[in-house]
Amino acid sequence: MDIQEVITNHTNSIIKGHFSSPDIICLCCHQKPKFFKLHESRKRQFRMIVENIVKTTFSFLLRWRCLLCNTTFTEYPPFAAPHKRFVLTDINRLGQKYLSSDNLSYRGVVKENGDDIGYPDSNDLCEQFISHSTVWRFMIYLADRSQIKRQPFIMAKTVPLISSFKYRSNKRKTLLYKAFKENILFNMQADKMFFPDLETDST
């Protein structure tokens, strides 16, 4: 199932009301209510890369309220990331593309088959293109995500050496290694569409 089908299925499930309250502990009060009350369904745009074109689609994010402390939080489906318009599969794919090639720069990553990845206008012409700085922001996101506590699992692969071409400081080196580990985890869990995110609306 490709990412477009995943998003379509998620959207249809929300429209038909085929969803349930998250079975989690509240992120704020750290208690578990009998259920979380649906606060609202929020429409959101997502971006996907198809060949060298950025396509957009819409889906929904559910916001829930804790009945114990009244905190509201947003539940992100497995294809979505907080504060990111691009779907997780593309964030991971471009991240892997950058990290797995010794000499590939950020500018090289935002090309597909030699062509810049662009945003089509109403005439399907691309005059705006993905900035190379977007890939660096993906690295920061993946590194931050690696700090999330999850169920323990056995790492099936070792993280290979990252070319020194990619960094000039130990800080950036550490960030890239964290991003690489998260990239491996994403690929290991690809059949489960990774882990959904939860974020309180106050953050």
Mean pLDDT of 121-141: 92
Cα 6 off chain centre by: 14
Is pLDDT of 157 > 90?
no
Is pLDDT of 169 > 70?
yes
Mean pLDDT of 36-54: 94
**According to the model, what pLDDT value does residue 182 have?**
87
Selected residue with higher pLDDT from 146 and 167: 167
pLDDT mean across residues, the chain: 86
Q: DSSP assignment of 52-65, as one string?
A: TEEEEEEEEEEEEE
Is pLDDT of 167 > 80?
yes
- Distance from C-alpha of 203 to C-alpha of 189, rounded to nearest angstrom: 27
Tell me the pLDDT tens digit for each residue of 61-86: 999 999 999 999 999 998 998 889 99
Of the candidates 39, 42, 72, which has an alpha carbon nearest to the alpha carbon of residue 59? 42
Global pTM reads 0.83
> For the stretch 46-58, what's the b/e string if a residue is b when 16 or more beta carbons lie within 10 angstroms of its beta carbon?
bebbeebebeeee
Is pLDDT of 192 > 60?
no
Burial group, residue 45, by CB count within 10 angstroms (0-12, 13-18, 19+): exposed
Spatial contact of 191 and 131, defined as CB atoms under 8 Å apart: no
